[in-house]
A = this chain, B = another copy of it.
Amino acid sequence: MNHQDFNGLPAHVWPRNAARDASGVVSIAGLALPDLAAEFGTPLMIIDEDDFRSRCRDMAEAYGAPRRVHYASKAFLTSTIARWVNEEGLSLDVASFNELTIALRAGFPAERITVHGNNKSREFLRSCVTHQVGHVVLDNSGELDLLNEVARELGKTQRVMVRVKPGVEAHTNELIATAHEDQKFGFSLADGAAFAAVQAAVEAENLELVGLHVHIGSQIFDMPGFQLASQRVLGLYERIHTELGVDLPELDLGGGYGIAYTADQRALDVKTLAHGMLREVEDLAKELDIPVPEVFVEPGRAIAGPTTVTLYTVGAVKTIKISETATRRYIAVDGGMSDNIRPALYEAEYDGRVVNRLCDGEYVDSRVVGAHCESGDILVNEAEYPDDITPGDLFATPATGAYCYAMSSNYNMFTKPAVVSVKDGKATLMLRRETVDDLLRLEV
C-alpha cells in the first residue's frame, strides 16, 4: 500500500458517482461530503441514487426482464427505496409482515411482491392473499395448509413457490455441497420433504404452484454453488414432470451475490454471472427434456450495498503499544456498532478513507473503532493508514448500503443516523436523524 492507495477511491468499492478533487475533497454525485456533514451532521449515510438505479438496470438487463429481478428489501427498505425499485420495474422480496405492509403503503404493486419467511402468521398470510401478492414462498407444511385454508376463506387462489433446501451452502469462497440440512428454511430435497410439499401444493385447491425457490448463501463470489443447486433443483423439476405430470414455469435461484467491501475483494460481474446461471438452467432443462423455467433472482446487497457510504467524524486518536515491538493507532469515530453491526456480528471487513483532504502521513498499523462502551465495537479491524488522520477529519466507509441501517440499533442510546440520497448535485433527506425525544417516545 502507498499514499496513493489511501487517497484513491477503488471504483469497485465506492459508489459509481464518487470522486476526489485536486484539493482532496470527496464528493458523490457532485456533492462534497464535508458540505453534507456540515448540513446534516455525522454519522451520516449517503446513498447514490443513480448508482442504485443503474444496478437495478444492470441486473434487469442481465436477466432479460426487470420483473425477474427481485430486490431483497431486508437489505435496506424505505418508502423511497420501494419507489425506486418499482420505477425500475423490478420485483420486491419481503421477509416479514411489516416489510410487506411498508412496501404496499409505498405503492409497490402487490403482483410484483414475493413473500418469504420461516414463520408467517395467519394475519400475515391473510394480508398476502387479500392483496394477491405475486408469490408466497412456502417454508413448511403447516404454512402450506394454513395458506390454503386462508385462501379458501377469502375465496381466492394464491400463487406459491416451494422453498427447497438443496443441501448446498455457498458462503464466500467456501462451498459445502453435501450437508447444511441443519438450518431453519425450506423443505429438504434429500429426505423427500420437498417433493411431498410440491405434491401437497399441487393438490391444494386454493394454491397455484408456479415454481421452486432455492437460496444457497450470501457473499458468493463464484459459480459452482449456483450450478450445483440448479442441478439438484432441476432434478426435482424433472421428477415433478414425470411423476405428477406438472411443469413448473418458474425457478427462483435466490440471492447471495457477493460484493467488494475492500479493494482486494472482487465481485462477480453481473452479466457473466447471469449468463452462466441462465445457460446452466437452459442446458440442464434440455438435458432432462423438460421446459426451461423462467429464472428469478433476489439481489439485495448486490444492488444496495455499493451505493452507500457512512460518513463519520474522527474523535479520539491514540497509539497503543500492542507488543514489545509493535504499536497500533486507534482512531475513534462518532458512530460504530449501532450503525454497523456487521464487523462484530460476522467479522465483516470494511475499509475507509479520509474524505475532507489528502493524507500524507507515514503508513502505520491502524484500527478504526466506534464510540460504544464495548471493546468489540470495531469498524475497520486492521489497516495500514497514514498517521496524520486527526480529530475533526471526516472518515467514510464505503459499501454500507446493505444490512447496516437495516440492522441498526440504539445501543448506548445512540440515535439512528440520517440518510440522504444524492443525485445530480442535489441532496434529499431520506430518513431524518433520530433524536433523544424519539428514543423516549415509547415510554409510557
- Could you list which residues of chain A lie within 8 angstroms of chain B, going by C-beta atoms? 74, 77-80, 95-96, 98-99, 101-102, 105, 116-121, 139-143, 181-185, 188, 190-191, 315-318, 320-322, 328, 330, 332-334, 341, 344-345, 367, 369-373, 375, 377, 391, 406-416, 428-432, 434, 436, 438-444
Contact = CB atoms under 8 A, between A and B. Distances in A.
A184 B408 contact: no
Given A102-B440, A143-B316, A185-B375, A369 B408 contact: no
Given A332-B184, A430-B444, A102 B436 contact: yes
B444 A121 contact: no
Contacts of A430: 443-444
A371 B318 contact: no
A49 to B, nearest CB: 15
25 contacts: A74-B411, A96-B372, A96-B373, A98-B412, A98-B436, A98-B439, A101-B413, A101-B436, A118-B373, A119-B316, A121-B315, A140-B318, A181-B320, A182-B320, A182-B322, A182-B328, A184-B318, A184-B332, A188-B321, A190-B321, A345-B345, A406-B412, A407-B409, A407-B411, A432-B444
A414 B121 contact: no
Given A118-B369, A182-B328, A322-B182, A142 B98 contact: no
Contacts of A118: 316, 332, 369, 371, 373
Across chains A and B, which 9 residue pairs bring their CB atoms closest together, nearest first?
A95-B373, A98-B413, A119-B332, A119-B371, A119-B315, A96-B412, A183-B375, A182-B322, A431-B442
Nearest to A441: B438
Q: Chain B CB within 10 Å — which of A330, A373, A428, A432 has the most?
A: A373
A101 B415 CA distance: 13
B102 A413 contact: yes
A330 B184 contact: yes
A102 B443 CA distance: 12
